[in-house]
Structure 1
Amino acid sequence: MSRKLLWKLCLLIAAGIVALFYLINTLTLRTEEQMSLLEVSHREELKRWGEEAERLFLSGDKAQLEQWLQALQEQENTWATVTQYEVTHIAGERGNEDRYIGYNLGRDVDWKVHLYFEDNPVMEIPFTTEKTSLLVLLPDRMRPGSYWQTTRLALQILLPMGILALFSLMLYRHIMHPLRKLEQATREFSRGNFSVRVHRQLGGRNDEISELAKTFDQMAARIGEQIVNQRQLIADLSHELRTPLTRLDIAIEDAGTRYSDDKNIQRIQRESAHIRRLVEDTLTLAWLDNERPSVGTEDLDLVDLIDVIVEDARFEFPNRTICTRLPDTAEIRHSNHQAVGQALENILRNAMRYTPVGQAVHVLLEESGQERVVIDIEDSGPGVPEALLDNIFKPFFRADRSRASESKNFGLGLALARRQLNSVGATVEAFNRSAGGLCMRITLPTRLYKSTVSAIG
């Protein structure tokens, strides 16, 4: 494997981290430089102070200058002074005295103020004449960088977090986009759309994920072909088996009319009926498993349906008792009379079969809220080992094979019942009763809308 995605991610992450460090450093330096300068309005104000001090100085009224300086100090809670200076030659060449401007004991208003110094700097506003300057301890309100610590925190912590979050989101979308396509294709494939393909939806992408998409497409093509062939095989079997079975039934019925006392003919009739039921149940189960149909198209009353099924069971098993606790009515919508009826009949017949002679089977129906009804069918049999409770819904599974062979039970009844109930949005589960016996709990929705039905399976 070329691991193109790995190298792509390594390159993106390495380049992104280097670019992030460079960006943060550049922004921090530029921001610090900008925040180190006095605001333009404060510079202008300091210059006006210098002009006013110079005016008072040139007027020769030192008392008025002193009074003005005192008022300025009180107003700004600082100190200010007007100072002259004189350059005294000690040694070396002379002639550059005119280049000395200002007292040089303070900072020019256009200079940067160090943000990390605790004390405010002294600002110097030089006069235009007399080699004199106004020195002012910078007032607190003019100190630049008041929010520098907060700004630095934002630049060095919050900004990287935001950029990394954005980068992670972009990286996540780059990885998850094809995976979502694959997820959607998988969901469509599970719903029966065997023509769905992924690789062509990824455009020109060429990495490990695109290879996965190619593998999925190959798998989908092969499995889809197998399922289609299996469906065709089931359809062909359904046609090919029913025709000879029908002819066999006709021949056996004719033979039974002629030789009604022949035990072999009677045995053939029973075995033929079992074979027909096995074939019908197997084909129905295969159709439900492969097609996963949604058959919720009609409304029905569960109470009426259960009454009919119970009466038939009482006739079939006259040496067992059926006790029912049913409401007056239990309407369910968008269901299927045949699917629900056959499932309930199979489950009830299974309960009657494993209930000892003279014992009772209980059928209970009640609403469970949230637009659902629950049907409990409780037998008085030996129950099922806990480890096998879910296996009893598998095709051809029989917990007691000796009793199953005696009753001609092929292990399809409960499997078929679960598939039929699933087709109308219902569920069935089994658990052992504390008092003994097995309980089959069927949960049916009272309102199964078409949008819900189409997603079943």
Structure 2
Amino acid sequence: MSVKRRLYLSNILMLVLPIVLVIATSACLLLIYQGVTGVRGKPQPPMNNGETIPARLDLARQLSADLTEAEGDASRFSRLDDFNGEYAESGLRAFWYQGNRRIYPAQLPAPVPDGIDMPGEGSSALLTESYAIYRVPAGAGMLALIDTESKLDPGGRSRQQLYTGLFLLAVLILIVVATNRLLTRFVFRSIVNPIEMLAEGVHQLRDGNLTYRIRYVKQDEFAEVCRDFNRMAEQLSDMVEERSRNERSRRELIAGISHDLRTPLTSIKAYLEGLEKGVASTPRMQAKYFATIKSKVEHLEHVISQLFLFSKLDVGEFPLYLERVELGAELKRMSEAFAAEYKPKGLDLRLEGTLPTAIAVVDPVQFRNVIQNVLENSLRYTDQDRAEVVLEASETDRTVEILLADNGPGVREDELARLFDVFYRSDDSRKRTELGSGLGLAISSKVIERLGGRITAELVPSGGLGIRIVLPTAKSTEGLPSKGAEYEKDTDY
């Protein structure tokens, strides 16, 4: 049940339940009163001696039965004398009438008048402020008990009404308090418990426990809040992990930059010192030293250029000039050009399979650089006499997949995901700094990502390394710029 419905139901019950309970309590009290006193209908006024009217009437009926069973007036008079003697101290006296004529006793006690007018037939009672009369049938006559001690007590009636009112007021207050407490517990338990769970969750996150999750099974307004809290905790955990990864990458980036700049600078410094000290004394040695220095400077320039390109791609400030191209034809042209370029360097590039005919939106220059970076990587790390790369391509309704698989030594499976990290090199290649800076695949990853695709590394059956590139086709890239347009960092695929 939702909290809103609980509040609505609680407000209704807060009004209805006390009324129902008060009515039920009053009815029960009335039934109890009638059961104890035997009075039906209008309640009788209280008497000052605390006796009840039905008790006196029962006493009169018992005496009437004795008189009916007695034989002769003498026997009846004797029974009446005994009764009056027994109850004389209680102020109770018996009288016997036949019709309107009093048979017993001969004289009425004060303050009872001689004439008693009690309309109706059967048993009845008359209360005045001076006495009380109880009348019951007795054979052919009528028996009356006159009680000068029992009389109408107006003050007692007022007190009884006051006590009854106070009692009902106390019952009403008790019912309202109990109902309020019950309904408050019914409503606020469903509010306080989730709030306490959320507070505990906040404390756990504050203390650094980002794995804490709230388990809330009820389907009410707090369910969505708890789900949002869990999503927030998950996002915080991801953000902290991402920050840790970024910090680790930053340290590795600084270490990589320092290494890749220090190594050629150290060589340049050594060769310059050799020239300065006359180690290269012959023109031939000097030319060799100058050539080496020039090579190291070019290497530094290449590293700095690659680093600049990566930083621009990383922050999305490097523009891409997009064109709609048929990837199959583009791959064929590139493979032919690269095959001729890399064959003298010791790499054989072979195009296999049916080429896709799908149209994709790419920056041809940067796409060519991506393929070239993969080929350079295969050439540098091959352990064969000649490196060999097989290029395959396939297409689906929405994507084109390109696989470049080499015959190199490959890498460990746990290193596949890190190959695209900046300055990352596998453990074996770390010892061979001349193999490269580790920026090529990182730049390729950023370019493909900017083109709306993805690039992954995998191990191929031949044991080498495979680089898989997935690009969206033109069908899934509607709204992209036309040929030659500049692709800025806010372009949304």
For the pair shown, the structure with the greater C-alpha radius of gyration is: 2
Interval of TM-score (by shorter of Structure 1 and Structure 2): 0.3 to 0.5
Q: TM-score, length-normalised on structure 2?
A: 0.42
Q: TM-score, length-normalised on structure 1?
A: 0.45
